[in-house]
Amino acid sequence: MAVIKPFAALLPQPGLASRICELPYDVMSSEEARQIAAGNPLSFLHVSKPEIDLPPATDAYAPEVYAKGRENFRRLMAQGALRQDPQPHFYLYRQVMGRHSQTGLVAAASCADYLEGIIKKHELTRPDKEDDRVRHIEALDARTGPVFLVYRANVALDALVAMQTAEAPSVDFTAADGVRHSAWVITDSAQTRFIEAEFGRMPCLYIADGHHRSAAAARVFQQRKGAGESASFLSVIFPHNQMQILPYNRVLKDLNGLSPGQLLEKLASVFAVNPHGAATPTRKHDLGFYLGGQWHTLSLLPRFAAPANPMEGLDVTLLQQHVLEPIFGIADPRTSKRINFVGGIRGTGELEKLVNSGEYVCAFSMFPTSIEDLMAIADTGGIMPPKSTWFEPKLRDAMFCHLI
């Protein structure tokens, strides 16, 4: 059963939260981070991407980068911009993006649960990225990037959240990208015990986003043998029915020696091709395909759309099996330099821009993977293909930090 516990979070001063809290370190380049943080010494990017305060040629993984992050983190605490809650609590974190709203429980999740598979993963991790997060945690002696977890929706928890969020939030701001971020502190001890008990009846939790952060947290837990607060990691846990998953689209550098006509002929052996299609597919097993300034709708032929298991039924899997490898010659999209991935938050206009510029020759617009598919695959111990999901909105760093 899932074990979660309250913790004494390091919190932003409410009036400064909009200047402190930032998008995660891994959704922007160092140069983009420099531009975002310019003129704002409170920006948490000085902690999460501290290379921005060093010469541009600095290796982002150099020891002085982590040292600078520690220095900047301690400065924010010394200034009182970040202050630790005097008592352990659970917290609620709501994000509103346009018409979409999601509210998660902020809690300390169990590293042992992660290692034992009670917290289920669906992606492979890269050792170099794990090493980076381990060094960042060790340098700060804190976990500052929350892991995005999901639980199967629970009516009793829904009712508690609705009651709590009817009160005024402790932190409330709208970021420059238009996403509203609000936080509440759960101070009632009976409600705290109720939350622990409800999660204690759940057989598992699921990682939506943050595989490298959770893997790194588990490594620090093992290295420190559970000392201090190392046995748990910072998480925001959402009910599955509030998730918004955007597509992860594909752009390709070349046609693998084929002419546009030859390529469309090969695609017609896998899909029904509508040459006057839409940029955005409206159902599973439909794809948008952009070539020569024109969008086509590709509808998977029925004989390919009867998978034996959830993994084989993913559109990203079917595209890889029937198109990218046999037609484009891309056997491993993780390592190929001929393919790139574009998060759905950028829209299909970004795909058109990339192809029209000549940098890429064609693009595939995907239908989003469902949270039900993700959970079904994780339940079987499966690993999803790379770049299968793009969750929005992203959790803001520094809304909550977990001191070890």
Q: What is the pLDDT of residue 341?
A: 94
At residue 79, does pLDDT exceed 80? yes
In this prediction, residue 254 carries a pLDDT of 98
By DSSP bridging, strand 90-97 and strand 180-186 are: antiparallel
Helix (H, G, I), strand (E, B) or coil at 90: strand
- Give SS3 for 371: helix
224 has a pLDDT exceeding 90: yes
Calpha distance 8→403 (Å, rounded)? 8
Amino acid at 78: A
* Backbone phi, psi, residue 157, to 5°: -70, -35
- DSSP result, 286-304: EEEEEETTEEEEEEE-GGG
pLDDT of residue 314: 92
Amino acid 4: pLDDT: 98
Rounded to whole angstroms, the Cα distance separating 118 from 46 reads 34
Q: Which residues pair with 84 in a beta bridge?
A: 10
Mean pLDDT on 242-246 = 95
- What DSSP designation does 397 have? B
pLDDT of residue 241: 97
Band of pLDDT at residue 335, cut at 50, 70 and 90: confident
pLDDT above 80: residue 307: no
Decide if pLDDT at 306 tops 80: no
pLDDT at 268 over 90: yes
What average pLDDT does range 79-83 have in this prediction?
98
pLDDT band, residue 124 (cuts 50/70/90): confident
Instruction: Report the pLDDT averaged over residues 281-310.
Output: 92
What is residue 311's predicted lDDT score, i.e. its pLDDT?
A: 87
Length of the chain: 404
pLDDT of residue 305 exceeding 90, the answer is no
**What domains sit in the chain, N to C, each tagged with a CATH number?**
4-244+392-403 (no CATH), 248-367 (3.30.1760)
pLDDT band at 87 (very low <50, low <70, confident <90, very high): very high
% of the chain beyond a pLDDT of 70? 100
With both helix axes pointing from N to C terminus, report the angle between 189-200 and 155-164 in degrees, rounded to the nearest 10: 150
Burial of 113 (0-12, 13-18, 19+ CB in 10 A): buried
Region 322-339: mean pLDDT is 94
92 and 186 Cβ atoms separated by less than 8 Å: yes
pLDDT digits (tens, 9 = 90+) for 339-364: 999 988 899 999 999 999 999 999 99
The pLDDT score that the predictor gives to residue 269 is: 97
pLDDT at 20: 98
Confidence of residue 167 (pLDDT cuts 50, 70, 90): very high
Q: What is the pLDDT of residue 310?
A: 84
Which helix (H) or strand (E) is 93 found in, with range?
strand 90-97
C-alpha distances in Å from residue 105, one per residue of 33, 91, 149, 294 = 28, 6, 9, 44
The mean of the pLDDT values for the chain is 96
